[in-house]
Chain A
């Protein structure tokens, strides 16, 4: 990794089934992630993905770029826009891209961008990883 280097974007599909699975695995059973009735009642256009699922997908991209499952030293995001997941077989897609901001002392700082349907869904998304 070298400063300014763009990391190859990675695309992740997210379906309603993924949200149910993530709810069970994480223990986050907020109904806005599985009930259109509740989601629309609180002003959303429909069921949305857990922000922490989007962050987990960004984490998958980061560990893959870093080449090691234990390379992440620091990882932070802001949830700026919901990822709406339609009730169909294809769901939606989250695309994670990244740029190497700086490299020093065996560490690289990556600036991350997450988009869904062409719109950014995370802000101030940054990871620091150990580099060989």
Chain B
């Protein structure tokens, strides 16, 4: 079933807030082998002007990947995740994610194009604090493989 083209330009309702924990950031930093003290030591982060430990650049994917469930859960959209391959990923930061952030995601379907029997879905997720402060804009291009 192809993706419903009428979703292009449509935004989904804001997701429930994601509470960024200090230990989650430490766990993520350890998993990618990142050793900068600002990822683990609140004092090191404070020395850089942040209230608590900061997250490595790709950490927002943890938050946005969970938010993408919204698109999968909408049967009318027609996104079959078992046929999805990650194509492109981009982050544009206002500031790093900081432990203690409560992050809300707004997903927008930016583009759907078909090429070579596959569909290319571009989503933009605006990640902001629950108070409305922008943190990072996240683009993902997903390739939905055609059923040959």
Contact = CB atoms under 8 A, between A and B. Distances in A.
Interface of A: 12, 18, 21-22, 24-28, 51-53, 55-57, 59-60, 62-63, 68-70, 72-79, 124
Contacts of A79: 85-89
Interface of B: 24, 27-28, 30-34, 36, 38-39, 48, 50, 54, 56-58, 61-62, 65-66, 85-93, 95-96, 139, 141
Chain B, interface SS category: mixed
A74 B92 contact: yes
B90 A27 contact: no
B86 A56 contact: no
Contact of B32 (A22, A74, A75, A77): A22
B58 A52 contact: yes
A20 to B, nearest CB: 9
A60 B87 contact: no
A76 B89 contact: yes
Contact of A70 (B48, B66, B85, B141): B48
A77 B85 CA distance: 14
Contacts of A78: 87-88, 141
Chain A CB count within 10 A is highest, among B32, B50, B61, B93, for B32
A52 B56 CA distance: 12
A28 B64 CA distance: 12
Nearest to A50: B86
23 contacts: A18-B31, A24-B31, A25-B62, A27-B62, A51-B86, A51-B89, A52-B86, A53-B32, A55-B89, A56-B34, A56-B56, A57-B33, A59-B34, A59-B57, A60-B56, A70-B48, A70-B95, A70-B96, A75-B91, A75-B93, A76-B139, A77-B88, A78-B141
A69 B95 CA distance: 11
B30 A69 contact: no
A78 B92 CA distance: 15
A71 to B, nearest CB: 9
A60 B33 contact: yes
Contacts of B32: 22, 25, 53, 56-57, 59-60
A56 B27 CA distance: 14
Contact of B33 (A12, A24, A55): A12
B65 A77 contact: no
B43 to A, nearest CB: 14
